[in-house]
Amino acid sequence: MGEDETVAEVRALLIERHPEWACQEWIERGVGCLCSERPG
């Protein structure tokens, strides 16, 4: 799964589970950091 697909899936899941969370823009950056650190 590519980074874009991972971001979309994680974002959708987090918003579904926690719709009240403010500042949801951190999700993309957080997933991007995790994706850049995985062994390739």
pTM here is 0.68
Question: How many domains does the chain contain in total?
Answer: 1
Residue 40 pLDDT exceeds 70? no
Containing structural domain, residue 22: 3-37
- Report percent pLDDT > 90 for the chain: 32
Distances in whole angstroms, Cα of residue 14 to Cα of each of 2, 30, 36, 39: 18, 12, 20, 24
